[in-house]
């Protein structure tokens, strides 16, 4: 499987995703196996004292694509889509994600583009234990734990930059 990342205007990801889906359907027809995701995470938020679950982007301004076939010949066409800045490129000018970027994209695609809350056990002074959910297979480090907000701060490497993202968790066992 080949994984790609398309940069687009922040806030316009849904429109670019719709345009990409139409483009690949038109160009590839019955051979279209391209899946386009806007990576989201389900987060717990408190509003007026009530806890709610909302969808928030993991990487604002980026869409993830997966395909069994190479999309190298479509670079120019994707750049012409309204709101799209084109594929992210590697140092060698290729567009297919490699190494840790590919692992991260595969992790997102394996969760269908939506990261749901993981179940964790945390006791003060001990390492956090993920018992269930997408964070079990995470290729990153948990940097900080927020009990009140039901989230953890995760540090991972993407596109050569270390990024920190707050991810949802559900505490099922704790000393707090």
User: What does the pLDDT average to over 21-31?
Assistant: 87
Do 37 and 136 form a contact (C-beta atoms < 8 A)? no
User: What does the pLDDT average to over 19-32?
Assistant: 87
For residue 101, pLDDT over 80 is answered with yes
Q: Give the pLDDT confidence of 6-25 residue by residue, as tens digits.
A: 999 999 999 999 999 999 89
Cα 159 to chain center, whole Å? 13
Closest CA to 87 of 60, 64, 107: 64
pLDDT over 70 for what percent of the chain? 87
Q: Give the pLDDT confidence of 44-82 residue by residue, as tens digits.
A: 777 887 878 888 888 899 999 999 888 888 889 889 999
Do 87 and 96 form a contact (C-beta atoms < 8 A)? no
Q: Kindly provide the b/e burial profile for residues 61-93, where b requires at least 16 CB atoms within 10 angstroms of the residue's own CB.
A: bbbbbbbeeebeebeeebeebeebebbbeeeee
Q: Give the pLDDT confidence of 115-149 residue by residue, as tens digits.
A: 887 777 766 666 666 777 777 766 667 777 777 77
| Domains of the chain as residue ranges with CATH | 2-174 (3.30.70.940)
pLDDT of residue 85: 93
């Amino acid at each position: 499987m080949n994984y790609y990342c398309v940069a687009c205007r922040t806030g316009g990801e849904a429109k670019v995703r719709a345009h990409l889906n139409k483009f690949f359907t038109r160009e590839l027809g019955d051979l279209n196996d391209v899946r386009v995701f806007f990576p989201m995470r389900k987060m717990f938020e408190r509003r007026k004292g009530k806890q709610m679950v909302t969808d928030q982007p993991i990487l604002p301004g980026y869409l993830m694509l997966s395909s069994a076939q190479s999309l190298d010949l479509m670079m120019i066409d994707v750049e012409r889509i309204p709101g799209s800045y084109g594929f992210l490129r590697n140092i060698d000018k290729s567009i297919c994600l490699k190494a840790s970027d590919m692992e991260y994209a595969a992790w997102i695609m394996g969760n269908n583009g939506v990261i749901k809350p993981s179940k964790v056990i945390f006791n003060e002074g001990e390492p956090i234990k993920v018992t269930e959910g997408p964070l079990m297979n995470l290729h990153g480090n948990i940097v900080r734990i927020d009990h009140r907000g039901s989230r953890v701060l995760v540090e991972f490497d993407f596109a050569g930059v270390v990024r920190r993202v707050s991810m949802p968790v559900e505490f099922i066992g704790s000393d707090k």
